[in-house]
Amino acid sequence: MTDFTQTTQPTASHYINGKYVETAHTEAFESIYPATGEVIATLHVADQTTLDQAVAAAKAAQKVWAKTPAVERGRILRRAADIIRERNQALSELETYDTGKPIQETLYVDPTSAYEALEYFGGIAASITGEHIDLGDSFAYTRREPIGVCGAVGAWNYPIQIACWKAAPALACGNSMVFKPSELTPLTALKVAEILTEAGLPDGVFNVVQGFGAVGAELVSHPQVDKVSLTGSVATGKRVMQAASESLKAVTLELGGKSPLIIFEDADIENAISGAMLGNYYSSGQVCSNGTRVFVHKSIKQAFISRLKERAENMILGDPMDMETHMGPLVSRTQCDKVRDYIRIGQREGATLAFGGGDYGKGEQSLYVEPTAFTDVTDDMRIAREEIFGPVMCILDFEEEAEVIARANALDVGLSAGVFTKDIQRGHRVVAELQAGTCWINNYNLAPVEVPFGGVKQSGIGRENSKAAIEHYTQLKSVYVEMGDVDCGY
Ligand code: NDP
């Protein structure tokens, strides 16, 4: 039995207007620790009244927040960052229980990337400005204004990170937010809300409501919501954009991918294998930007596969709370079944299971899937075209640079891409041709807050992180100022 009482749990389902709010009368759902199936917490779905309350609180608070000096807004966000950093251990444990991701990941990545976003956007809040445009006798200037109430919806793979990647830029720009986490991982967004209040955020500026997709759908189509931001699948992205189009709300969509990782014959093979492993097995492969189509040059393919197998077989799967554990379970029964289905599909399609595919002796009932790799994969196979979102690497081979670029670009998603080569000119030449929002040369899956993150094609619209995010949480007002007389011919 796991003792969840040692964790700093949120005390109710929702967080509205600076307080925890419970809706004991609405549908209940459980937050489950994927490693053991134990219930961490029971929460309730937000009904329409609760959602309306959250949006109304956000609307009222936004007017005051937008008038708060930007330097003060930034200070509050940075204070929240400091609190998250101080509580990294407790928040990482809570995130591990909620997601099943190993503590050796959450301790270094999840609350960390959350507080870095708050620190970064807190730091630049006071530098968000318009510009002066000289028109000779007159002039104009632009005001970079907040959009209003943001309705944001998150996926389950990086819950605290997603909450802060959305809240930090939105709040820095003077917006307010109602955030709906995935019902699979509802806990840490509530802690973010609680911490923001502790840091001095005015009540109502950041609110959290719980629920399934239907609550997300109500939120994004709510008439008082001015801007929508989703992290989720391509299918959900299309539905959200359709709903937002009713009132032409601005959208930021961070969606899925099936990204290519290209390993040329001159690559440092150990580094390339590290990149491929991190880009397929980190967080049990539940990462949107994963390089799941690994194109390896024919001349090094055998060496690559045998060394990869050796390293993958040394990975430790097990208790996520053990610092030695490299990989935990998948997040849910549904996700685990989906991944195991894809492994069967790959075998049926004629790909060779190079290693993995099993449950690491944990049993079919567990949510563990071993690090897995298929070889002899062809571009037309479903495992090479569809996002699996689990620890399943597809290895394809190639001979020519132009050929691999065309194959890498063949899908209608384009979140990320990677290239391993020691040839500096080839590295830059190839990434210039790749249709992806983020490319890495000689590494994979790094997402520092200073760098824009987002997709092209069906992987999304807009960018998170960096100064680019400011563009998506502000709107420009142009102000023309006449310094002379009105020139009127009649
Ligand atoms: P989903 O698209 O299933 O869900 C995302 C969120 O949207 C959930 O909170 C979900 O609620 C909610 N939702 C579902 N239907 C609607 C709707 N019609 N309107 C509004 N909200 C809705 O994705 P997953 O949670 O399964 O996450 C995995 C996906 O997210 C993968 O495709 C992955 O690639 C992508 N992702 C993208 C990232 C990026 O930055 N590009 C980062 C992380 C993940 P509920 O959970 O109740 O269904």
pLDDT in tens, 437-453: 999 999 999 999 999 99
Which atom of ligand 1 lies at the shortest distance from residue 182's CA?
9
Residue whose CA lies nearest to ligand 1 atom number 30: 232
Distance (Å) from CA 192 to ligand 1 centroid = 20
Residue whose CA lies nearest to ligand 1 atom number 25: 155
d(CA 323, CA 103): 6
Among the listed residues 94, 148, 157, the one whose alpha carbon sits nearest the alpha carbon of residue 474 = 148
Q: Which pair of tokens denotes residue 471? A: 């563009």
Catalytic-role residue among 254, 301, 370, 439 = 254
Residue whose CA lies nearest to ligand 1 atom number 22: 213
Distance (Å) from CA 370 to ligand 1 centroid = 24
Distance (Å) from CA 236 to ligand 1 centroid = 6
Catalytic-role residue among 105, 150, 166, 173 = 166
- In three-state secondary structure terms, 259 is coil
Ligand 1 pocket test, candidate residues 101, 215, 236, 413, most atoms within 8 A of CB:
236
DSSP of 457-474: ETTEES-BSTTHHHHHSE
Give residues with Cβ within 8 angstroms of 337, minimum separation 6.
none
Full pLDDT tens readout for the chain, 490 residues: 888 877 789 999 999 999 999 999 999 999 999 999 999 999 999 999 999 999 999 999 999 999 999 999 999 999 999 999 999 999 999 999 999 999 999 999 999 999 999 999 999 999 999 999 999 999 999 999 999 999 999 999 999 999 999 999 999 999 999 999 999 999 999 999 999 999 999 999 999 999 999 999 999 999 999 999 999 999 999 999 999 999 999 999 999 999 999 999 999 999 999 999 999 999 999 999 999 999 999 999 999 999 999 999 999 999 999 999 999 999 999 999 999 999 999 999 999 999 999 999 999 999 999 999 999 999 999 999 999 999 999 999 999 999 999 999 999 999 999 999 999 999 999 999 999 999 999 999 999 999 999 999 999 999 999 999 999 999 999 999 999 999 999 9
d(CA 8, CA 6): 7
Q: Which pair of tokens denotes residue 247? A: 């009132």
The whole-model pTM stands at 0.97
Residue whose CA lies nearest to ligand 1 atom number 31: 233
Catalytic-role residue among 288, 336, 394, 439 = 288
Tens-digit pLDDT profile for residues 134-170: 999 999 999 999 999 999 999 999 999 999 999 999 9
The count of C-alpha atoms lying within 13 angstroms of the C-alpha of 355, restricted to the half-sphere facing its C-beta, is 14
439 is catalytic: no
Residue whose CA lies nearest to ligand 1 atom number 32: 233
Distance (Å) from CA 186 to ligand 1 centroid = 13
Q: Tell me, rounded to whole angstroms, the distance of Cα 356 from its chain centroid.
A: 27
464 is catalytic: yes
Distance (Å) from CA 233 to ligand 1 centroid = 5
Which atom of ligand 1 lies at the shortest distance from residue 453's CA?
40
Residue whose CA lies nearest to ligand 1 atom number 21: 216
254 is catalytic: yes
The DSSP symbol for 423 reads -
Owner of token pair 């009540």: 203
Give the pLDDT of residue 245: 94
Give the pLDDT of residue 1: 82
Strand ranges across the sheet with 293-297: 352-355, 372-375, 392-398, 293-297, 260-263, 416-420, 438-441
Pocket of ligand 1 from Cβ distances under 6 Å: 153-157, 180, 182-183, 212-213, 216-217, 220, 231-233, 236, 239-240, 254-256, 288, 387, 389, 415, 455, 460
Catalytic-role residue among 95, 105, 218, 464 = 464
Distance (Å) from CA 272 to ligand 1 centroid = 30
Residue whose CA lies nearest to ligand 1 atom number 17: 217
288 is catalytic: yes
d(CA 98, CA 209): 17
d(CA 351, CA 336): 20
Distance (Å) from CA 23 to ligand 1 centroid = 24
d(CA 54, CA 474): 21
DSSP of 206-229: EEE---SHHHHHHHHT-TT--EEE
Distance (Å) from CA 126 to ligand 1 centroid = 32
Distance (Å) from CA 475 to ligand 1 centroid = 26
Ligand 1 pocket test, candidate residues 31, 180, 184, 231, most atoms within 8 A of CB:
231
Residue whose CA lies nearest to ligand 1 atom number 42: 288
- In three-state secondary structure terms, 327 is strand
Residue whose CA lies nearest to ligand 1 atom number 39: 254
